[in-house]
A and B are shown apart, each in its own frame.
Chain A
């Protein structure tokens, strides 16, 4: 009798090599599935179980997952874009032109990167407002909300630094308009402006700075905070359900403590 696909997978997961890589064993028992999360350095950021009602679309609109998705797409398209790009003047513009007209699928790569970047900014805002309207910033989740605000700022900075890289008129003047705001800071405005651009105006130094920030510093920092953001969801008791506890416990609590309000 022929083996099913599942059986092939089971065989694969039973091999010595597989077992040497993944710490959790084979099998589909609850324990093994929990171990698959707990024993994995990346997945252990998440809890092993999630309340079913939190997975309904209306609970979160999946905005956090979608934001992570755009981030992954941006990394995946950003790395090949880096292969074709020199952060120098005027080579940067020539490289962008080459991406449009010479590199195979270069246009597609650049399009996908740019639209995903816009989508990420939009989704981060949407995520923030959704979390707010659900009241999911409530204790004990205060600090995860703060990390979320930091991630919002990082997303804006990532998008903003990337905006300069094509070195066309659109990029140049958008960054000029934006960075001039820094000059308005009282007392040290001009110094901040100079530090940001590596000069008194947007020039080759600014391009190099923005490139390093965009491709190295900010993505790593964002990854760092994203890891904390996910980990805190688990540590703070999972995604915020309406009253944070399972329905039965909540009902009992209300019965014995009528003063406590939480049910609507």
Chain B
């Protein structure tokens, strides 16, 4: 060989736009391919076997639940007799809880519509692809923006007396402040973890927190006239 290398290796390093590929451009005839060396299992039979076991374990669990607990069945549907409270299925009770505070067009149409839109566009925004800690770059500016958004949101929820959503928001804001004052070199593993969380993580976690809290309140803590009750008080 005349050259020490008989090919040029170049890398498309923009992994955000395209999966990283290594291209070998040979100066001679054949193309060299880097073989994948990572340990792989064959789908048939290993992976299918695992999937089958997973589904079987699930089936055993659900059959057990089905044998132990009976599905509810109330009296025949009666349009002239409204139960109090009339509750939607549990996964919509977060929405129904929002309906308690906001007009239907906001809580029933705008909010869920925006949530679905936001979920769909997640992968198409660069800010969600970046994996850098939120407060690691231009810290002061981002901290200021955070203060403005967090206090505006809290004030908004306070004005509408949405305490059920306000408390998770304040807790999240507190954790984010802790993250802002955590360094990636911190001796505490938890602080290091917080410092490395990107913006998308905080937004989604806030959403998850609100979803769980509102759904739980709608399911367990709402009685006649959508008043607050303890779960053990019954309805």
Q: Which residues of A contact B66 (CB under 8 A)?
A: 108, 111-112, 115
Interface of chain A residues 158 through 202 with chain B (CB within 8 A): 159-160, 163, 166-174, 176-178, 180-181, 183-186, 201-202
Is the C-beta of A257 less than 8 angstroms from some C-beta in chain B? yes
Chain A to chain B contacts (Cβ below 8 Å), 16 pairs: A46-B47, A52-B38, A55-B50, A65-B51, A72-B55, A73-B59, A93-B77, A118-B90, A139-B15, A140-B18, A142-B124, A149-B119, A185-B105, A186-B109, A245-B19, A248-B38
Q: Which residues of B contact A132 (CB under 8 A)?
A: 122, 200, 204
Mask, A32-43, CB within 8 Å of B = 1, is 011011000001
Return B232 CB to nearest CB of chain A, in Å. Answer: 21
Provide the bound-state CA to CA distance between A146 and B67, in Å: 37
Q: Which of B81-89, B144-152, B157-165, B172-180 contacts A (4 or more CB under 8 A)?
A: B81-89
Is the C-beta of B54 less than 8 angstroms from some C-beta in chain A? yes
- What secondary structure prevails in chain A residues at the interface with B? helix
> Are B13 and A249 neighbours in the complex by a CB distance under 8 Å?
no
Report the interface size class on chain B: 35 or more
> Are B43 and A43 neighbours in the complex by a CB distance under 8 Å?
yes
Is the C-beta of B228 less than 8 angstroms from some C-beta in chain A? no
Report the interface size class on chain A: 35 or more
> Are B71 and A248 neighbours in the complex by a CB distance under 8 Å?
no
Interface residues of A (CB under 8 A from B): 30, 33-34, 36-37, 43, 46-53, 55, 62, 65-66, 68-70, 72-73, 89-90, 93, 96-97, 100, 107-108, 110-116, 118-119, 121, 125, 128-129, 132-133, 135, 137-142, 145-146, 149, 152-153, 156, 159-160, 163, 166-174, 176-178, 180-181, 183-186, 201-202, 237, 243-250, 252-253, 256-257, 259-260, 262, 264
Nearest A-chain residue to B204, judged by Cβ: A132
> Are A69 and B55 neighbours in the complex by a CB distance under 8 Å?
yes
Return A101 CB to nearest CB of chain B, in Å. Answer: 10
Return B183 CB to nearest CB of chain A, in Å. Answer: 16
